Chains A and B, each alone.
Chain A
Amino acid sequence: MASLSFILRRILQMIPTILFILVVTFVLVRLLPGDPATVMLGDRGREADIARINAQLGLDKPLVVQFLYFIANVFSGNLGNSIALRVPVTTLLVERLPVTLLLTGMAAAIAVIFSVPLGFWAALRQNRASDTIIRGTFQVGLSMPVFYVGLLLLIFFGAHLHWFPIGGYGHGFGDHLYHLFLPAVTLALSLSAVLMRNLRSAILNVIDAEYVDFARSKGLRGYVILVRHVLRNAVISTVTLFGLQVGVLLGGAVITETVFAIPGAGRLMIDSIYGRDYPVIQGLTISLAIVVSLIFLATDLLQAWLDPRIMR
């Protein structure tokens, strides 16, 4: 029951967070110089046309009025129409958001699969050859820009070996996974390096802690100590970090999606910022905020399971 009220409390806490995000987004996008009509018409825009289009979009009204309209619409489930693409924002979200979530989900999975065992291995072989090699390799991965790694992978695995398609998203779930594999690996690189390093150092910390010595002296078998005490306690800060990195991962999707020609939400977000497509930016931010909040909730629950005392 305690955990149920914990979940409820966390969900209630999401509401002010999302409201805050709405306000910040609304203000931030309107601080961007220029307006949608100016961007749409580009350098050939004539004054009269720009004024006419902005009036049609309701952008000539006071900001407060626009904000109230927007909030009222959000609560009735209407996120408005994209100014540049001329379709409802909800349509765009349904098309684009799952793509990005699948991409980042795969990237997160790949990062965890690589970083957890290797982080463990590196910690147990501290300062030996294998530790050095693992850390060195991850360091290289951490230091390569996403667009550069992406292109290298495309050239090698796509153009030379023909193992993977060169960009695109494909049709059908299996095909999506196939198309998203290289971009997910690209996106996972820096996250797995961050997680690996954190885990390695956390494990070293815990191994030195006195309760491990204590457990050892009790004669428990080594792996029981490892799993029950070391892993559990070491993983807590890694889980925190993982939650924190979700936003970084979604941000990284922007460039990955560009390089791999994936029609996702990250690319749409950047295009919309550049296009001053206010409704799309707002709609995307809200939905991403909800998704990320749910992921936080999940990491919180995971931590609570690892260390029940966190749940107060």
Chain B
Amino acid sequence: MNAMFKALGLGAIVLGASLSGAAAVERGGILTYARQADSRLLDPVYNQGNVNIWVLSSMYDTLILPTDDGKGLKPGLATNWQVSKDGLTVTLHLRDDIKFSDGTPITAEDVRWSLERAANPEHGIWNFMLGSIDNVEARDEKTILLHLKHTDPAILPALSVFNAAIMPEKQYEATKGASDEDKAKTFAQHPVGSGPFVLTTWERGSSMKLARNPHYWAKGEDGKPLPYLDGINFEIIPDDATRILKLQSGEIDGAEMIPYARVNELKQDPAVDMELFPSTRVQYVTLNVRPKLEGEKNPLFDLKVRQALNYAANKQAIIQIVTHGVGKPMTSFMSSGTPMQTGTKPLYPYDLAKAKALLKDAGYPDGFETSIMVIAGNQDEIGIATTLQQMWSQLGVKLDIQQVDDGTRDTVYRNGTFHMRLSVWTDDIADPSEFASYALYPPTIGALHTGWSNDKATKLFEASQQELDPKKRLEEYAQMQKIFNTSGPTVPLYETPYAVALSKNLHGFNQIPLGNNIFRWAWLSR
């Protein structure tokens, strides 16, 4: 705990100075940024995916902010906070003079209401991150107390997650709508928030315009209020090649989701600043390890078979072919950007002889037939599957590639009737518990719907969820990772950064490992 607090204190000092001393910033200008897909619902609580999450932090601020490396915390709307000795109460102190984008003050009551709304188990799908909150108390105008049902080592990071954003109670409750969700839909069309920018116009599927929030609290390098930019135009350009072309011809200042195949080429382009922001993104194969599948014996149930597939998958080759050298091998099932990741060396180095021996031991000397689901038209996934098909054919394993759309894949996945699928994970919270809960704690979603379970891992996870001693929790996570990495239901492939191409005029933009696009320190030189 104490170590964590020291880090937090430091964060407060570093806040304004997170731009590493480059040229003096210039104010003004509108940044045009091309996104692959449009947002759908700009409500922190009811939104359902990265298309919303990645821009929400520009419109709504949280009490605590994630640091640029995505692993630590720093003050946001709250300047400091304490956790009681028994770990059951968190006290937070609000910053002075903070206002919503319409100029009304942000009060402790707004905070209480926002957090209770976010923690309500009936609301949206993210409330589990605040599940330990019993109730929130606005003790006075500047002091908020969280009363917890049980100790929760992840409660502070949870307050930095998008769904814990602070919203204006009065303006929200005055919105028309039969239910809270109906209100959210209407409110999110013209949100009043606490973030550095505020939504002005939104042409769905085409463009979204944000203007600077004149009431934003944080100060820039020049001592004047952030943000530096006058506004942001998000343009929706679904086709990768068109997005890149538009950047190269100078029509836009930034483009997200650059295909890895284009990264090296764009690095050579003098007009483009090809950024590879560290992420928490991991790519792996999920294996269905139920004893029987479609009424027949499932080879993937056998640990030796899974190990054989792992050893026979040449990750370095996949990284070269699919990510064109951009990725790196995984050292644990969690990304190296996730806190408490304890991996040191790449998992399952390529060893075909060992793989063949393992498969023979398992009773499949001539291999077997299986299938893998990939998202139709997704070049990365098709590339991986084609490569695995080739590699595993060395074992006699015949891999049938099934291209499907998301809806089909997720349905088959949820029913537990798939053989294999390709999967990607990105953390939403600077804590390992989110992914661990999905991956190895069966009550959440049945260990990635694989049917895998391990009693020891389950117990370790349950203990770690209430463990306040960071050292002990780290030890628990080390053990969980060891179990999952050696016997789990996946074939870990690689970690990749976020590939974002920027114009040379854009400075100070960052996409943190959790995916959030941080525009508050971005500025344009002319």
Give me the interface of A with B, judged by CB distance under 8 Å.
32-35, 38-47, 49-50, 52, 56, 84-87, 92, 95-96, 147, 151, 154-155, 158-159, 162, 165-169, 258-261, 263, 267-268, 273-276
A33-B407, A33-B412, A274-B406 known; A46+B445 contact, CB < 8 A: yes
Q: In the assembly, what is the distance between CA of A260 and CA of B406, in Å?
A: 24
Q: Which residues of B407-436 are within 8 A (CB) of A?
A: 407-414, 423
Number of B positions contacting A (CB below 8 A): 40
Q: Tell me the smallest distance from the CB of B120 to a CB of chain A, in Å.
A: 13
- Roughly how many angstroms separate A264 CA and B260 CA in the complex, as a whole number? 28
Which chain B residues border A34 with CB–CB below 8 Å? 407-408, 410-411
List CB contacts (< 8 Å) of B174-220 with chain A: 181, 185, 188, 203-206
User: CA separation between A86 and B407, bound complex, in Å?
Assistant: 19
CB distance from B104 to the nearest CB of A (A): 26
* Residues of chain A with a CB closer than 8 A to B414's CB: 38, 45, 47, 50
How many Å from the CB of B310 to the closest CB on chain A? 21
Contact of A42 among B185, B204, B245, B410 (CB under 8 A): B410
Verify B251–A165 contact, CB threshold 8 A: yes
Contacts of B242 in A (CB 8 A): 151, 154, 166-167, 259-261
- Cβ of B235 under 8 Å from chain A: yes
Q: Is B378 an interface position by the 8 A CB rule?
A: no
In the complex where A151-B242, A166-B246 touch, is A268 in contact with B205 (Cβ < 8 A)? yes
Q: 7 closest A-B pairs (Cβ-Cβ)?
A: A34-B407, A263-B206, A34-B411, A261-B237, A263-B205, A33-B408, A39-B407
Cα(A162)–Cα(B245), bound, Å: 12
- In angstroms, Cα B129 to Cα A46, docked, is 14
Residues of A within 8 A of B445 (CB): 44-47
| Contact A154:B41 (CB < 8 A) given known A38-B414, A44-B445 | no
Nearest chain A CB to B269's CB is how many angstroms away?
12
Per the bound structure, the CA–CA distance linking A49 and B128 in Å amounts to: 11
| A267 lies within 8 A of B40 (CB) | no
By a CB distance below 8 angstroms, the chain A residues around B236 are 261, 263
Do the beta carbons of A44 and B408 come within 8 Å of each other? no
Interface of B toward A, CB cutoff 8 Å: 40-41, 48-49, 122, 125, 181, 185, 188, 203-206, 235-239, 241-243, 245-246, 248-249, 251, 405-414, 423, 438, 444-445
With a cutoff of 8 Å between Cβ atoms, the chain A residues found around residue B204 in the complex are: 85, 87, 92, 95, 263
Shortest distance in angstroms between A283's beta carbon and chain B's nearest beta carbon? 15
Would A158 and B411 count as touching, CB distance under 8 A? no
A85 to B38, CA, bound (A): 10
Chain B residues near A85 (CB-CB < 8 A): 40, 204
Could you list 17 examples of A-B contacts with CB < 8 Å? A34-B407, A35-B411, A38-B410, A41-B410, A85-B40, A95-B204, A147-B239, A151-B242, A158-B245, A165-B251, A167-B242, A168-B237, A261-B206, A261-B239, A263-B204, A263-B206, A273-B405
Query: What is the bound-complex CA distance between A167 and B125, given in angstroms?
Result: 35
Complex formed: what's the CA distance from A38 to B411 in Å? 7
Q: Are B408 and A86 closer than 8 Å at their CB atoms?
A: no
Chain A residues lying within 8 Å of B49, measured Cβ to Cβ, are 40, 42
B407 with A38: CB separation less than 8 A: yes
User: Contact partner of A169 among B206, B406, B410, B438, CB < 8 A?
Assistant: B206
Once bound together, how far apart are the Cα atoms of A290 and B393, in whole Å? 52
**Distance in angstroms between the alpha carbons of A294 and B49 in the assembled complex:** 40
Known: A85-B204, A154-B245. A267 touches B238 (CB 8 A): yes
Give bound CA distance, A105 to B242, whole Å.
23
Contact across chains for B125 and A41 when beta carbons are under 8 A apart: yes
For B412, what are the chain A residues with a Cβ–Cβ distance below 8 Å? 33
- Inter-chain contact B413/A43, CB cutoff 8 Å: yes
Q: Are A39 and B246 in contact (CB under 8 A)?
A: no
Shortest beta-carbon distance from B461 to chain A in Å: 16
Closest chain A CB from B44 CB (angstroms): 15
A154 to B248, CA, bound (A): 12
- Scoring A33, A258, A268 by chain B CB atoms within 10 A of each residue's CB, the highest score goes to A33
Closest to B449 in A: A43
CB distance from A288 to the nearest CB of B (A): 17
Q: Are A258 and B251 in contact (CB under 8 A)?
A: no
Additional 15 contacts, C-beta under 8 A, given A34-B407, A44-B438: A38-B414, A42-B48, A42-B410, A44-B125, A47-B445, A85-B204, A147-B239, A154-B241, A158-B249, A162-B249, A166-B245, A168-B237, A263-B203, A263-B205, A276-B407
Which residue, B188, B245, B444, has most C-beta atoms of chain A within 10 A? B245
The residue on A at minimum CB distance from B125 is A49
A260 to B48, CA, bound (A): 27
- Complex contacts, B246 vs chain A, CB 8 Å: 166-167
Which residues of chain B are near A87, meaning CB under 8 Å? Answer: 185, 204
A164 CB to nearest B CB, Å: 11
